[in-house]
């Protein structure tokens, strides 16, 4: 096995965990990322990471974590991987602790845990309000260790363009672009992992980093990988509106006691601090006494949306208060410092003194590349030794992290993503190694495929370098983002979804008339963006078509009969298990996505109605 080499695309939590796990088995890793991996989007995660450790004597268990996750996801997730992840979560947190993550501690020096949405337990380990940053750094450091020992080779500022598939359709490597020299090269691998994160920028402004375009997933989809549950988009209830980005105000603010409210009187313009308790409407606490401000995100988002539609938004605007001012300053600083600084820096108010103003913002994609898992047929559990784990329908191609569709079903619970990314990498790395060993002697020669792939992309980029139409790519991107945000986020309605499909097709046509303002042959980010934009339009259609065809409401997918009647249960289509307790599978074709449905593995928990 002298020259076993895998490719990992993406250096967020999922990609780095994959790389470390494979390197630990002695396998060489080529690691690709558009930004230095330490700057990946995972760095933005604030609130924490879930694992049921029951250190607060509340009776929490991994079984309850499993149930909360499946129920929170409205039963759309295949259950064996969810169970396996929840069982592994405490061990993953221990591992991070051993890697040196500066998690907050109890007076006894043990890890501290906070509350997050969709659960009644203190289950979320956290490092101040910069948990993702701390976790990413810990993995980055372990990866650097393998870089020094020679097992990991980094290709930072390289962009993945597409797969290399041999005559039998096996994925044998990737083609990538050097962001500085603009050189295109193909790289062979015994297996390829895509860990390229979410597609937030398809919605223009979101809580995501601006590099989260979903371009890699879309390229893989166009190269034959299936995309699943694309219509399930999580809109976070509390973000800070901005012209460039919707900055997140983490759920941990509510986990630590933050309260959402609006004045009871519409258009009340008094200073919030002078409004007496009795004249404040804590609408989440009133409607959901058991979970209060910590109802799952899809529900909190719709409630905030509806309250604003009814005219209770602050000053008639689309904003509500998120109030921390009743909590002592010192406590806020040690537990939430990082996020309060963000609010202070961008808004200019001190959230320890003045209630914050927030509104829902696009946050996360539950959908992504379809992946499978190995199942132990006698126990029904996920088989951690299977080379099937995290593998896509394209042999040799794996996916993990936000880019894969597994675990979260129709709605993700807060603090469950970091753990799912790490778990996917934890089982994905070894699965790739195993796959490589199982297939190495059986695959056909692929030299031709590499030359072909490079030729194809060289030609495409040479063409893009000369386009001179009247359309500006950034303007097209903005139109796409506005349409997607208006019609494919919090509320969906079939008429609007059809209009959006037509609009996206119009944008695809206009994309053909795009013009380049940058003619440079060095570090030309505009050429790369034009290519990404086409990929974004393709994946936007997958999301829209999936939403149009799913005639029910489930988790974050909330479909109403008549948009003018508001975001209410009465106006919504009900959940329809008979027809739609199914995974949406999109397959690429020249005339748009072809949709089919696959059964969901509900072998462990019987689906029941979701009521909080």
Partner 1 sequence: MPSSIRLSVKRQDTPTSSPYWEEYEIPYQPRQNVISVLMEIAKDPKTRAGKATSPVVYDRACLEEVCGSCAMRINGVARMACTALIDSLEQPIRLEPMAKFPVQRDLSVDRQVMFDSLKRIKGWIPIDGTYDLGPGPRMPEPERQQAYEYSKCITCGNCLDVCPQVNGRSNFIGAAPIAQARLFNSHPTGAMNAGERLEALMAEGGVDDCGNAQNCVRACPKSIPLTTAIAEMYRATTRYGIKKLFGT
Ligand X SMILES: Cc1cc2nc3c(=O)[nH]c(=O)nc-3n(C[C@H](O)[C@H](O)[C@H](O)COP(=O)(O)OP(=O)(O)OC[C@H]3O[C@@H](n4cnc5c(N)ncnc54)[C@H](O)[C@@H]3O)c2cc1C
Give residues in contact with partner 1 (CB under 8 A): 20-21, 24, 35-36, 38-41, 43-44, 91, 94-95, 97-111, 127-128, 130, 133-134, 137-138, 141-142, 144-145, 147-148, 180, 209-211, 242-245, 247-248, 334, 338, 342, 345-346, 426, 472, 474-475, 478, 517-520, 522-523, 525-526
Our CB check for ligand X shows the closer of 312 and 373 to be 373
Q: Cβ 245 to ligand X, closest distance in Å? A: 9
DSSP string, 251-272: THHHHTT-EEEEESSTT--S-G
Q: How far apart are CA 211 and CA 65, in angstroms?
A: 31
Look at residue 565 and give the partner it binds from partner 1, ligand X, none, a contact being a CB closer than 5 to 8 Å depending on partner kind: none
Could you give the CA distance from residue 213 to residue 537 in angstroms, rounded to a whole number?
Answer: 10
Instruction: Answer with the entry of partner 1, ligand X, none that 232 interacts with (C-beta below 5 to 8 A by kind).
Output: none
Residue 541 annotated as catalytic: no
Q: What share of residues in the chain are helix, strand, coil (percent, to 5)? A: 40, 20, 40
- Tell me which residue of 550, 575, 553, 409 sits closest to 67, measured CA to CA: 409
Residue 173's binding partner, choosing from ligand X, partner 1, none, with beta-carbon cut-off 5 to 8 A by kind?
none
Our CB check for partner 1 shows the closer of 155 and 227 to be 155
Nearest alpha-carbon partner for 111 in 47, 46, 43, 51: 51
Cβ closer to ligand X: 304 or 381?
A: 304
Whichever of 42 and 301 has its CB closer to ligand X, that residue is: 42
Which one of partner 1, ligand X, none interacts with residue 149, CB within 5 to 8 A by kind? none
Between residues 135 and 410, which has the closer beta carbon with respect to partner 1? 135
The edge-to-edge listing of strands for the beta sheet with 582-587 is 368-369, 227-228, 582-587, 594-599
Burial of 468 (0-12, 13-18, 19+ CB in 10 A): exposed
CB of 572 to ligand X, least distance (A): 26
DSSP code of 312? -
Task: Tell me how far, at minimum, the Cβ of 567 lies from partner 1, in Å.
Answer: 28
Query: Beta strands 5-9 and 192-194: pairing type?
Result: parallel
Q: How far apart are CA 574 and CA 594, in angstroms?
A: 25
Neighbours of 383 (CB within 10 A): 17
CB contact set of 413 (below 8 Å; sequence gap of 6+):
50, 68, 69, 72, 73, 116, 117, 118, 119, 296, 297
* CA–CA dist 426, 92 (Å, integer): 9
Q: Which residue reads 């108010």 in tokens? A: 349
CB-closest chain residue to ligand X: 12
C-beta closer to partner 1: residue 108 or 606: 108
CB of 342 to partner 1, least distance (A): 5
The option from ligand X, partner 1, none interacting with 47 (CB < 5 to 8 A, set by class) reads ligand X
Question: Per the residue annotation, which of 21, 115, 297, 534 is the catalytic one?
Answer: 297
Residue 172: name its binding partner from ligand X, partner 1, none (Cβ under 5 to 8 Å by kind): none
Cα angle value 73/74/80 (rounded, 5°) = 65
542: tokens are: 């997958």
Binding site for ligand X (CB under 6 A): 9-15, 32-35, 37, 40-42, 44-49, 131-132, 159-160, 195-198, 207-208, 211-212, 215-216, 248, 250, 363-364, 401-403, 415-418, 421
Catalytic residues: 297
């Amino acid at each position: 096995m002298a020259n076993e080499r895998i490719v990992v695309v993406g250096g967020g939590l999922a990609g780095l965990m994959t790389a470390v796990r494979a390197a630990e088995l002695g396998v060489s890793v080529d690691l690709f990322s558009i930004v230095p991996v330490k700057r990946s989007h995972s760095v933005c995660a604030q609130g924490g990471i879930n694992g049921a450790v029951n250190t607060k004597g509340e009776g929490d268990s991994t079984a309850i974590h499993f149930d909360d996750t499946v129920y929170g996801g409205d039963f759309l997730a295949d259950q064996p991987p969810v169970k396996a992840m929840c069982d592994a979560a405490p061990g993953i947190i221990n591992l991070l602790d051993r890697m040196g993550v500066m998690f907050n501690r109890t007076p006894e020096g043990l890890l501290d845990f906070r509350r997050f949405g969709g659960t009644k337990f203190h289950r979320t380990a956290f490092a101040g309000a910069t948990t993702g940053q701390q976790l990413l750094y810990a993995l980055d450091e372990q990866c650097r260790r393998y870089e020094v020992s020679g097992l990991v080779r980094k290709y930072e500022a390289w962009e993945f363009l597409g797969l290399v598939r041999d005559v039998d359709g096996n994925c044998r490597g990737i083609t990538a672009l050097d962001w500085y020299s603009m050189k295109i090269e193909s790289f062979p691998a015994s297996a390829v992992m895509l860990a390229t994160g979410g597609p937030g920028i398809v919605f223009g402004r979101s809580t995501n980093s601006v590099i989260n375009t979903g371009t890699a997933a879309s390229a893989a989809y166009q190269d034959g990988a299936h995309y699943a549950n694309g219509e399930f988009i999580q809109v976070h209830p509390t973000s800070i509106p901005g012209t460039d980005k919707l900055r997140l105000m983490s759920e941990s603010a509510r986990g630590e006691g933050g309260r959402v409210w609006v004045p009871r009187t519409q258009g009340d313009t008094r200073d919030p601090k002078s409004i007496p308790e009795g004249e404040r409407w804590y609408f989440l606490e009133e409607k959901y006494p058991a979970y209060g401000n910590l109802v799952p995100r899809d529900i909190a988002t719709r409630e905030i949306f509806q309250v604003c539609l009814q005219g209770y938004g602050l000053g008639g605007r689309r904003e509500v208060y998120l109030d921390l001012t009743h909590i002592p300053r010192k406590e806020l600083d040690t537990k939430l410092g990082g996020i309060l600084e963000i609010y202070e820096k961008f808004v200019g108010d001190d959230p320890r003194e003045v209630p914050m103003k927030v509104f829902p913002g696009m946050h996360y994609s539950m959908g992504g590349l379809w992946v499978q898992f190995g199942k132990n047929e006698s126990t029904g559990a996920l088989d951690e030794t299977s080379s099937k784990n995290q593998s896509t329908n394209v042999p040799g191609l794996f996916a993990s992290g936000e880019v894969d569709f597994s675990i979260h079903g129709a709605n993700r619970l807060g603090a469950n993503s970091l753990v799912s990314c790490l778990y996917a990498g934890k089982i994905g790395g070894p699965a790739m190694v195993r796959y490589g060993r199982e297939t190495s002697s059986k695959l056909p020669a692929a030299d031709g495929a590499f030359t072909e792939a490079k030729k194809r992309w060289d030609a495409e980029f040479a063409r893009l370098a000369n386009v001179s139409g009247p359309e500006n790519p950034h303007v097209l991107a903005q139109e796409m983002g506005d349409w997607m945000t208006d019609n494919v986020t919090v509320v969906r309605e079939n008429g609007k979804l059809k209009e959006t499909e037509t609009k996206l097709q119009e944008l695809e046509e206009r994309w053909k008339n795009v013009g380049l303002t940058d003619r440079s042959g060095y570090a030309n980010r505009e050429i790369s963006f034009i290519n990404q934009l086409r990929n974004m339009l393709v994946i936007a259609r997958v999301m829209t078509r999936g939403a149009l065809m799913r005639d029910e409401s489930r988790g974050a997918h909330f479909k109403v009969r008549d948009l003018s009647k508001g975001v209410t249960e009465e106006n919504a289509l009900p959940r329809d298990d008979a027809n739609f307790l199914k995974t949406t599978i999109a397959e690429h074709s020249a005339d748009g996505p072809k949709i089919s449905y696959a059964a969901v593995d509900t072998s462990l928990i019987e689906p029941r109605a979701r009521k909080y």
